[in-house]
């Protein structure tokens, strides 16, 4: 069996993290989303993974270079997932799992989906939708292990969505003939012109094709928006750390006797946990990383290679710190730092920091509002309040802040942007912008005469 991972979308809802990368390359616990999907498929028994790529093909091809079970196919710019899948049909030799590259899967769920496919039925993998959030998804109805219907962004209660597909020859006719006009929607709904996979499956149901339905045991987190990327990271960090039962030290690694470790650590090669370090939880660390000089890690965490964690800094539990990062001198970090992030001098941050981001001294972000409410975000012109992490801060790639910058709850900055010294950022900052304080000053004479000399 093969697996096809769909990675043809533009990822505009994930702004600012899909500007310089295909969104499937957004990091989760220091690995791209698509790598976790490929691993889950291979662990489930798939023999070959085909990644159907649109934007930023070179980045994905570079990551998987030399991986003999992964094939990259450039599909160009398509008008939807169904067309992306149809474009790789010549490479599909039989039954196949079809996965969304922006979804975090578990192998056990994909095995259950593959089993139904092996029994001779095309199938879908269904994940739960939180109450009140059905309007954000194309939802599905199923009874007795059979898919019964599909509706786009329903107003009525529907608690499941399709997150993966088991494709057999019975489904290819409706996939290749998929329309760009979604029919299964409530009255008054306005769908975009796009070839949705769900539309092809709905057409198959209308043609009396029996489609099995498998309920996922995991959340199958759909990473479509920044707070969902944060949720995926917290979930994967907890999963990776929760299975650690003993310390494991790579060649050349060292733990100083003065370090206080209330849990277990997995160290790569030539990594160090130095004097007076406090670790309260299980921690996974890469190669050539130093955690020294009283650094504190207060819970489970994943830290990459070639990092310097030092000088009484604090990393909160659940955090994922990328490769080549520096966290030092009283810095407080909670959330996700992509590769090559620098955090210094009494700064405090909660949320996501894009790659090569540098926070100036005493940069702080707000996490609580005076009204105790959750921040309303705007995604492609639509106002919405996230179920979780609404008050986190989201900084894009290649950003900087000046000293004493303040980032209010829920703000986002685009790529290649700067928040200047002393700025109180109250709203999102677009890509390629610098915002500075405009200061009004008064100049007066001053001399010893003022003191009676």
Can you give the CATH number for the domain in which 422 is found? 2.160.10.10
Q: Which of 397, 351, 359 is nearest to 16 (CA)?
A: 397
In DSSP notation, 317-385 reads TT-EE-TT-EE-TT-EEEEEE-SS-EE-TT-EEEEEE-TT-EEPTT-EE--S-TT-PPPPEEETTEEE-
Identify the domain boundary among 192, 208, 224. Answer: 224
Tell me: do 296 and 339 sit in the same domain. Answer: yes
In a domain, 452, yes or no: no
Residue 445 lies in a domain: no
Q: Which of 174, 209, 224 is the last residue of a domain?
A: 224
User: Residues 179-219: pLDDT tens digits?
Assistant: 999 999 999 989 999 999 999 999 999 999 999 999 999 99
- How many whole angstroms separate alpha carbon 206 and alpha carbon 210? 10
Q: Which of 408, 405, 346, 331 has the alpha carbon at shortest distance from 377?
A: 408
pLDDT of residue 453: 84
Structure letter (DSSP) for residue 392: S
Number of structural domains (the chain) is: 2
User: Are 190 and 239 members of one domain?
Assistant: no
- Residues 209 and 236 reside in one and the same domain: no
pLDDT (0 to 100) of residue 134: 86
Instruction: Quote the domain boundaries for residue 382.
Output: 231-435
Q: Could you tell me if residue 111 is inside a domain? A: yes
Count the Cβ atoms, other than its own, within 10 Å of residue 93. 9
Q: Is residue 450 part of a domain?
A: no
Q: What pLDDT score was predicted for residue 450?
A: 86
Is residue 447 situated within a structural domain? no
| Residue range 155-164, pLDDT digits in tens | 988 999 999 9
| 243 and 206 share one domain | no
Q: Would strands 393-395 and 412-413 be described as parallel, antiparallel, or unpaired?
A: parallel
Residue 446 lies in a domain: no
Q: Same domain for 336 and 392?
A: yes
At 282 the pLDDT is 98
Q: Under a CB-based contact definition with an 8 Å cutoff, are residues 321 and 290 in contact?
A: no
Which CATH number is 26's domain given? 3.90.550.10
189 and 327 belong to one structural domain: no
Cis peptide before 3 (omega within 30 of 0): no
Is 291 found in the same domain as 373? yes
d(CA 282, CA 264): 5
**265 & 196 share domain:** no
Structure tokens belonging to residue 94: 């039989």
Residue finishing a domain among 224, 244, 269: 224
| Predicted local confidence at residue 148, as pLDDT | 96
Give the residue ranges of the chain where pLDDT is below 70: none
- Let me know if residue 453 belongs to a domain: no
Q: What is the pLDDT of residue 133?
A: 86
- Note whether residue 448 is domain-resident: no
Decide: 40 and 251 in contact? Cβ < 8 Å: no
Taking the CA atoms of 292, 295, 299 and 305 in sequence, report the sign of the dihedral they define.
Answer: negative
Residues 375 and 427 in one domain: yes
Same domain, yes or no: 288 and 206: no
Task: For tokens 């670790």, name the residue.
Answer: 279
368 and 219 fall within a common domain: no
Instruction: Tell me: do 380 and 272 sit in the same domain.
Output: yes
């Amino acid at each position: 069996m093969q697996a096809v991972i769909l990675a043809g979308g533009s990822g505009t809802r994930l702004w600012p993290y899909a500007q310089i990368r295909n969104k499937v390359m957004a990091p989760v616990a220091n690995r791209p989303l698509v790598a976790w999907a490929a691993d889950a498929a291979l662990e489930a028994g798939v023999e070959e993974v085909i990644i159907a790529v649109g934007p930023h093909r070179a980045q994905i091809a570079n990551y998987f270079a030399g991986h003999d079970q992964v094939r990259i196919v450039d599909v160009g710019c398509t008008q939807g997932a169904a067309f992306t899948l149809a474009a790789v049909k010549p490479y599909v030799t039989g039954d196949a799992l079809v996965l969304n590259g922006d979804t975090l899967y578990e192998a056990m769920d994909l095995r259950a989906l593959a089993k139904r496919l092996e029994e001779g039925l095309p199938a879908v993998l269904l994940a739960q939708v939180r109450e009140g959030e059905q309007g954000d998804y194309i939802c599905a109805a199923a009874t007795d292990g059979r898919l019964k219907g599909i509706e786009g962004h329903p107003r009525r209660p529907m608690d499941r969505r399709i997150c993966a597909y088991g494709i057999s020859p019975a489904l290819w006719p409706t996939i290749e003939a998929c329309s760009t006009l979604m029919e299964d929607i409530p009255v008054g709904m306005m769908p975009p012109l796009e070839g949705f996979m769900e539309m092809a499956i709905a057409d198959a149901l209308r043609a009396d094709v029996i489609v099995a339905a498998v309920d996922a045991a995991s959340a199958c987190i759909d990473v479509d928006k920044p707070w969902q990327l944060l949720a995926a990271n917290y979930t994967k960090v907890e999963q990776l750390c929760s299975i650690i039962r003993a310390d494991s030290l790579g060649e050349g690694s060292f733990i100083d006797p003065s370090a206080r470790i209330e849990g277990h650590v997995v160290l790569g090669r030539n990594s160090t946990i130095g004097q007076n370090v406090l670790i309260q939880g299980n921690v996974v660390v890469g190669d050539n990383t130093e955690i020294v000089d009283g650094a504190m890690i207060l819970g489970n965490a994943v830290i990459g290679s070639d990092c310097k964690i030092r000088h009484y800094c604090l990393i909160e539990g659940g955090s994922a710190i990328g490769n080549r990062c520096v966290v030092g001198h009283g810095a407080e970090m909670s959330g996700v730092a992509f590769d090559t992030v620098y955090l210094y001098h009494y700064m405090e941050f909660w949320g996501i920091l894009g790659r090569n981001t540098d926070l100036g001294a005493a940069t702080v972000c707000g996490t609580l509002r005076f009204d105790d409410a959750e921040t309303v975000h705007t995604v492609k012109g639509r106002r919405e309040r996230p179920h979780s992490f609404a008050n986190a801060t989201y900084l894009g790639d290649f950003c900087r802040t000046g000293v004493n910058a303040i980032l209010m709850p829920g703000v986002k900055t685009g790529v290649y942007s700067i928040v200047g010294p002393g700025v109180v950022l109250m709203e999102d900052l677009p890509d390629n912008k610098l915002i500075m304080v405009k200061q009004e000053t008064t100049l007066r004479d001053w001399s010893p005469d003022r003191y009676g000399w």
